[in-house]
Structures are given as structure tokens and as C-alpha cells.
Amino acid sequence: MKYLLLLPLVLLALWLILRQRGSHRVQGKDPAHHKPEAVDPTAAPPPTEIIECARCTVHLPRTDAVAGLHGLHYCSLAHRQDAEGA
């Protein structure tokens, strides 16, 4: 008789535990389903690396430079061709 009273309590506790764990997964608290952090739109962008043209010594962002031989960078394709003799 006591098992008939204990069984519903155990089932209720198990149901509550599983329900609690399921709500964490839905809310993104489960480590397997971790969402990346949101980017702050007011944050400053990372600094741009400034390099010097190997031919005329003009300073420009690395993203705008033309890569040459031996790790040198140039401000234009014409300066690279002139410096490398191509």
C-alpha cells in the first residue's frame, strides 16, 4: 500500500526535474546549444594596421596595399611592378 503512495511522488519529482532541464535547453542555457554573444553596435571597430609602400613610402591601410615579393607591400600595382622589375 505504501508503494502506491510513493510511486506518484517519485513520478512527480522525475517529471519536475525533466521539465526543469527542458526549459534550460529552450532558453539557450544548455552548453551544447550555446548562442554567440551579441555584438555591441556602439563598440569601436578594431584599429587598422597602417603600412608603408616599399617604393614611395606612402602610408596606407594594409587592406588597401598590394602584396609583393619578400613580404613587401606597395600602394599600387604600378609601384610593385616598377620595384620588382616586372
**13 vs 4, 25, 34, CA distance in Å?**
15, 19, 27
pLDDT of residue 27: 54
Q: Phi and psi at residue 24, in whole multiples of 5°?
A: -70, -35
- Provide the whole-model pTM: 0.49
pLDDT digits (tens, 9 = 90+) for 10-51: 999 999 998 888 765 555 555 555 667 787 888 888 899 999
12: number of Cβ within 10 Å:
10
Predicted pLDDT at 49: 95
Distance CA 25, CA 84 (A): 59
Alpha helix positions (H), the chain = 2-26, 77-84
Per-domain residue ranges of the chain: 2-33, 50-84
Higher per-residue pLDDT: 2 or 32 = 2
